[in-house]
Amino acid sequence: MASDDQTIGVAEARHRTANTLQLLAALARMRSQRSAEPEAKRQLLWLADAIGSVGGLEQKRTPAGIDFAAYLTEMAPIWRRRHGSRPAEVVLEVEPLVVPDQAASTLALIVQELVGNALTHGVPDAGGTVRIRLSRPDSESCELLVSDDGKGFDPGSAAGRERFGLWFVRSLCAQVRGEFSIDPSAGVIARLRFPFQDQGSSRS
């Protein structure tokens, strides 16, 4: 059992890490404001968002891993403010889930990309809804779903491939050995199913 001093030390280290990541995110945003190149500005803002999303995990760390349901609950309104140029509601349907650090970082970047694109491109001008659902279909897998109620897009077009950064999302999904699919026919439904086993069930 950890002593009080060890617990305090871990909490302080976690707090320092979160502060460092927040500082890096702020620096990237400051550099974007000074950039005269639109593409450089866009990339720096994306980097700032990515660092911020990963940094948010530190606040949801438990001895068993990251409380990812609590993380999504905290980050959803932040993503809404960052990307919401149109009126939109972000609806969460999340089941309790604690995941290892490395998987949590990858999942955080995946959700950030999918939610950001849904808010930026999927929500109609008049407003709409983006849904984030995290569920456990069975004892050995999890499913993450991000959907919007926009008009969809053509995944075969150059604009569609570039807009959603599918190459990036698919590469991240491979890191968690997940199966990724996207249905852009009526709105966009992005679905990731990945293997997962509770920490307790993996022990003999």
pLDDT (tens digit per residue) in 65-88: 999 999 999 999 988 887 767 788
Average pLDDT value over all residues in the chain: 81
Q: Note the pLDDT of residue 8.
A: 54
**Helix residue ranges per DSSP H, the chain:** 4-34, 38-55, 68-83, 101-117, 158-164, 166-175
Q: Could you write out the DSSP letters of every residue in 152-201?
A: ---TTSHHHHHHHTHHHHHHHHHHTT-EEEEE-SSSEEEEEEEE---TGG
pTM attached to this predicted model: 0.80
Q: What stretch of H or E contains 63? A: none
Q: Please write the tens of the pLDDT for every residue from 26-59.
A: 777 787 877 888 888 877 877 888 888 888 898 8
